[in-house]
C-alpha cells in the first residue's frame, strides 16, 4: 500500500499534541516494511482556496504554518487520487478535520479531507463521495465545508459502546460512492483519550470500507487526523491499513 509522507512531518511545528516529538515517528516505525512510502507534495493554492477563505489562508501564513499545512493537504490530495485505483494512506500532519472555511481549531489549519475530495470533484473524477470520520472529536470543519453539498455524505460515529459503534459504521457505509475517504483519528482507542475502540476495531473498519468501496465499484483512502498515545497510535494505523488491504 502506498503511504504518502514527507520528512518535514517530523518537524515539531508548534506546541500542540499533534506536533509532539515522537508521535509521527511511532507511526512511521509501525508502517515501515508494510507500506511503500512516497513523498508528499504541497497542495496548490487553487486547491486550498477552493475550501478556505483568503483571510484564513493569510492567517495561517502569518503563523508561519502555511508550508507544513499545505504539505499535509497535498499528501491528502495524492492519497485521494491514488485511492481511486487502490487503497492508500496519507501519513500527514497537521490534521485537518476541525478546519472550517474561515477558521480552525483543534490542532488543525487546512482541511485536508475537504481539499482532497473537492479536488477530485472539480476534476470530474467523482460524482459521489462518502467520508467516515472515526476520530474521537466531531469533524466540524469537514461538515462546515462539505456538508452543504448533496454529493457528499459524512459519518461521525458517536457511540461509546464498541459493538454499537462498529454496527453504525457497517450500517451507514454506502454502496454507491465513487470514493470513500477515512479521516483516521486514533484518539478514541482504549488507551487514548476516548477509551472506546480496540486496535482490532480499526482493522475491522478498514475492511468494512474496502468492502463497501468494492461494492460501489469505487475507491478508498485514509488520512491521519488525531491520536495522541505514542505507544499505540502506530499499531492502530497499521491495523487500519491491514484491514483496507484485506
pLDDT (tens digit per residue) in 126-163? 999 999 999 999 999 999 999 999 999 999 999 999 99
Contact 113, 142 (CB under 8 A): yes
pLDDT at 95: 98
pLDDT tens digits, one per residue of 215-231: 999 999 999 999 999 99
Residues 6+ away with beta carbon under 8 Å from 54: none
Q: Are 227 and 189 in contact, with CB atoms under 8 Å apart?
A: yes
For residue 246, name the pLDDT band (cuts at 50, 70, 90): confident
pTM: 0.98
Region 29-43: mean pLDDT is 96
Is it the case that residue 58 has pLDDT exceeding 90? yes
Distances (CA, A) of 94 to 21, 72, 146, 158: 13, 6, 19, 23
Average pLDDT for the chain: 98
Q: Is the pLDDT of residue 201 over 80?
A: yes
Are 169 and 208 a contacting pair, CB within 8 Å?
yes
Separation in Å, CA 237 to CA 20, 166, 194:
17, 17, 16
pLDDT of residue 213: 98
6 annotated active-site: no
Which residue in 6, 52, 56, 98 is the catalytic one? 98
Domain 2-245, CATH among 2.60.110.10, 2.30.30.100, 3.40.800.20, 3.40.1180.10: 3.40.800.20
Percent of the chain at pLDDT > 70 equals 100
Kindly list the domain boundaries of the chain, sorted by start residue: 2-245
Amino acid at each position: 500500500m502506498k503511504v504518502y509522507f514527507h520528512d518535514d512531518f517530523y518537524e515539531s511545528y508548534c506546541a500542540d499534541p499533534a506536533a509532539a516529538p515522537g508521535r509521527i515517528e511511532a507511526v512511521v516505525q509501525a508502517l515501515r516494511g508494510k507500506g511503500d512510502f512516497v513523498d508528499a507534495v504541497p497542495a496548490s493554492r487553487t486547491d486550498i482556496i477552493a475550501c478556505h477563505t483568503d483571510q484564513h489562508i493569510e492567517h495561517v501564513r502569518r503563523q508561519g504554518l502555511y508550508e507544513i499545512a499545505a504539505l499535509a493537504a497535498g499528501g491528502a490530495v495524492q492519497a485521494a487520487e491514488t485511492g481511486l485505483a487502490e487503497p492508500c494512506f496519507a501519513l500527514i500532519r497537521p490534521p485537518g478535520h476541525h478546519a472550517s472555511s474561515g477558521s480552525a481549531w483543534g490542532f488543525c489549519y487546512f482541511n485536508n479531507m475537504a481539499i482532497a475530495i473537492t479536488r477530485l470533484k472539480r476534476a470530474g473524477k467523482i460524482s459521489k463521495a462518502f467520508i467516515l470520520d472515526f476520530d474521537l472529536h466531531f469533524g466540524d470543519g469537514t461538515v462546515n465545508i462539505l456538508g452543504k453539498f448533496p454529493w457528499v455524505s459524512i459519518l461521525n460515529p458517536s457511540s461509546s459502546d464498541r459493538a454499537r459503534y462498529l454496527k453504525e459504521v457497517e450500517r451507514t457505509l454506502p454502496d454507491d460512492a465513487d470514493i470513500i475517504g477515512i479521516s483516521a483519528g486514533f484518539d478514541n482507542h482504549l488507551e487514548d483519550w476516548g477509551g472506546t475502540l480496540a486496535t482490532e476495531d480499526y482493522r475491522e473498519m478498514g475492511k468494512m470500507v474496502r468492502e463497501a468501496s468494492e461494492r460501489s465499484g469505487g475507491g478508498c483512502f485514509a488520512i491521519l487526523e488525531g491520536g495522541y498515545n505514542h505507544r499505540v497510535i502506530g499499531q492502530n494505523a497499521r491495523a487500519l491499513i491491514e484491514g483496507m488491504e484485506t
